[in-house]
Structure 1
């Protein structure tokens, strides 16, 4: 283990449509805004978001963002997973908002249910039903 390594501090996401992504991460997923800064010299917003009081995501915008290959199975970060206590309630909210998601599957090793969906830039995201930390 790397000496002093504690935990994941944050995840940085660059979006192509700042308003759409800000709405998605705050209004759909329910993350809370910690700080929002416009950096004029870079023509860029930086939005710090927290989940249950824990700083988790930096959302960035830039004037021009090249698309990133994310499917099928491109090298690099595969997806970002959020733990939920009740997957049925979460996908019911997606249904109400018209947000598409993949059919619910069951993890063959843990027996927990999960589904994949995408953010406005098609970043693959997952909801994983877990009531306690899984190692």
Structure 2
């Protein structure tokens, strides 16, 4: 048995807060959430992404908080074809895919894109 059960949240460091809000709320359709001391997060399911703006991070923080260093994989709540259609409607470019990959629990089908800070974002559907 593992000591860790699941991820509660991650912290993303961004440069342009408005562009980051647009991407995560409009393109990825996460919910914007405000919490203590003027902080914001993007919520989806039972997880969230807390946001730090470069140069005004909250303490404690990563040793070297930088933008563009993350590689995240999200499992979509809808078929991947709907995700692709939505990305096209948003004029958000797909940099690779759809392609088959190995996920944490089973095979997945994925597309890759970049957020405004050039973090690599993988959006996937589970395959049977």
| TM-score, scaled relative to structure 2 | 0.74
Counterpart among 37, 42, 47 of residue 55 in structure 1:
47
Residue 103 (structure 2) pairs with residue 103 (structure 1): no
SS in 1 for 2:97: coil
Counterpart among 74, 84, 88 of residue 81 in structure 2:
88
The gaps in structure 1 that reach 5 residues or longer are 40-45, 71-76
The higher-RCO structure (CA 8 Å, 6+ apart) is 2
Q: Deviations along 1:84-106, whole A, 9 cap, x unmatched?
A: 13101101111111111123112
Does the CA contact (< 8 Å) of 1:87 and 1:114 recur in 2?
A: yes
Does the CA contact (< 8 Å) of 1:32 and 1:51 recur in 2?
A: yes
CA distance in 1, matches of 2:91, 2:84: 10
CA distance in 2, matches of 1:38, 1:120: 25
Give the number of equivalent residue pairs. Answer: 117
The residue number in structure 1 matching 2:9 is 10
| TM-score, scaled relative to structure 1 | 0.71
Which one has a larger percent strand, Structure 1 or Structure 2? 2
The gaps in structure 2 that reach 5 residues or longer are 58-64
